[in-house]
């Protein structure tokens, strides 16, 4: 089969069957895949709220299969093609629920994918179990996988930590389901797509695992959440969707999306700072021998020596060892810990390192 020119598909929505369309993609042409496939919910009967109204669940034809054998074959085919088109160091996210995620995980491992995380999307505003016969199902699961165990995949650790109040981000994400203005509705007031995912979910998925200009593929594009967030973050997208109505809605939605370029979306926090010895800051006058360095609360202090080490009156250690001492650790990043008082204001030594790098190395640390 003749392969399409991937450049011509960038930032486009392809109308068609995902498996057949994926077969036209060249090998190793995609950086990140987000897949929100049919869950094969097998909903039986109407779901009635306590007050007697009907709950609009997943009753779409695209979620219906003759049985697990047909569903497994379908998943094997699209997952196989996704693995082929994924770049060597690319990653794939697949979302599902208890009805399907274990079957998908089994298929993915058999295909050679390497599971990096299973992310729990915890939904604080999930629909209740109306019948009261089970626990409320208030989460879904995302499998984040690399193409192989040895892949050098992208993970923007520092960015995600920064957005999580400077704490290591975890595998449980509390994000509400689509409600209000975010939920796309038709003229009849009913939701257009029964499984529309929240933008905050795709924001974390794409920001954490991609770089600017990367190509994000969504083979079950729906109403275009993946494309809208990819555009917002300065990434490229390719969508595959077989429902014409969804395609029209997605195009209109993405056209209205305005890219938001910032130090976060450009991953400036991920740039490894150049090495600047403390002696260089002293040599260039950014710091003075004998100056007192403090932690940000001025609880601890130490005096600066000519060799860039610190003396707290009891021992002489590097900025890293000394800050680690005060934190009860063997070591710590002293650049983030120590401050010096300049004109009555505490200034981070990391900020001084930034100024040095810009002036003498022509580089930025951000």
DSSP letters of 223-287? T-HHHHHHHHTT-EEEEEES-HHHHHHHHHHHHT------TTTTTGGGSPPPP--HHHHHHTTSS
Q: Is the pTM of this model over 0.85?
A: no
| Alpha-carbon gap, residue 351 to 366, rounded angstroms | 10
What is the H or E stretch that residue 334 is in?
helix 334-337
Every domain of the chain and the residues it spans? 6-270, 278-361
Determine the pLDDT at residue 52.
45
Provide the pLDDT for residue 95: 98
Domain with residues 6-270, CATH architecture: 3-Layer(aba) Sandwich (3.40)
State the Cα–Cα distance between residues 75 and 78, nearest whole angstrom: 5
Predicted local distance difference test score (pLDDT) of residue 362: 64
Closest CA to 263 of 243, 234, 289, 292: 234
**Residue with tokens 């009967």, as numbered in its chain:** 45
pLDDT of residue 56: 53
3-state class (DSSP) for residue 293:
strand
| Residue 65: per-residue pLDDT | 87
State residue 1's pLDDT score: 77
Q: How far is residue 192's CA from residue 181's CA, in Å, rounded to a whole number?
A: 13
* Residues 66-116: tens digit of each pLDDT: 899 999 999 999 999 999 999 999 999 999 999 999 999 999 999 999 999
Q: Model confidence over 187-239: pLDDT tens digits?
A: 888 888 888 999 999 999 999 999 999 999 999 999 999 999 999 999 999 99
Give the residues of the chain that fall short of pLDDT 50: 46-50, 52-55, 363-366
As given in the structure block, the two tokens for residue 101 are 């995620």
């Amino acid at each position: 089969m003749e392969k399409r020119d991937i450049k011509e598909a960038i930032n486009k929505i392809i109308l068609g069957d995902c498996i057949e369309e994926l077969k036209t993609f060249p090998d190793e042409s995609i950086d990140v895949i987000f897949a929100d496939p049919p869950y094969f919910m097998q909903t039986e009967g109407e779901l009635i709220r306590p007050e007697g109204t009907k709950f609009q669940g997943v009753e779409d034809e695209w979620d219906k299969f003759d049985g697990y054998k047909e569903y497994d074959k379908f998943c094997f085919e699209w997952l196989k093609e996704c693995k082929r088109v994924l770049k060597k160091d690319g990653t794939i996210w697949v979302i599902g629920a208890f009805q399907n995620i274990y079957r998908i995980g089994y298929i993915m491992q058999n295909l050679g994918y390497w599971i990096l995380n299973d992310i729990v999307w915890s939904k604080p505003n999930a629909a209740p179990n109306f019948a009261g016969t089970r626990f409320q199902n208030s989460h879904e699961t995302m499998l984040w996988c690399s193409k192989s165990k040895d892949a050098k995949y992208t993970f923007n650790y520092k960015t995600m930590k920064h957005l999580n109040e400077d704490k290591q981000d975890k595998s449980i994400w509390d994000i509400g389901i689509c409600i209000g203005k975010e939920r796309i509705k038709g003229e009849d007031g009913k939701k257009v797509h029964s499984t529309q995912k929240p933008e905050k979910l795709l924001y974390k998925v794409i920001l954490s695992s991609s770089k600017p200009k990367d190509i994000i593929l969504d083979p079950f594009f729906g109403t275009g959440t993946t494309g809208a967030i990819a555009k917002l973050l300065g990434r490229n997208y390719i969508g595959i969707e077989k429902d014409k109505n969804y395609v029209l809605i997605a195009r209109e939605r993405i056209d209205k999306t305005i890219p938001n370029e910032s130090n976060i979306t450009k991953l400036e926090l991920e740039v490894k700072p150049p090495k600047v010895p403390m002696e260089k800051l002293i040599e260039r006058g950014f710091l003075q021998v004998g100056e007192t360095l403090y932690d940000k609360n001025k609880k601890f202090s130490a005096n600066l020596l000519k060799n860039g080490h610190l003396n707290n009156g009891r021992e002489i250690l590097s900025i890293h060892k000394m800050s680690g001492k005060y934190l009860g650790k063997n070591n710590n990043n002293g650049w983030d810990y120590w401050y010096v008082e300049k004109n009555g204001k505490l200034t981070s030594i990391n900020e001084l390192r930034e100024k040095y790098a810009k002036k003498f190395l022509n580089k930025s640390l951000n």
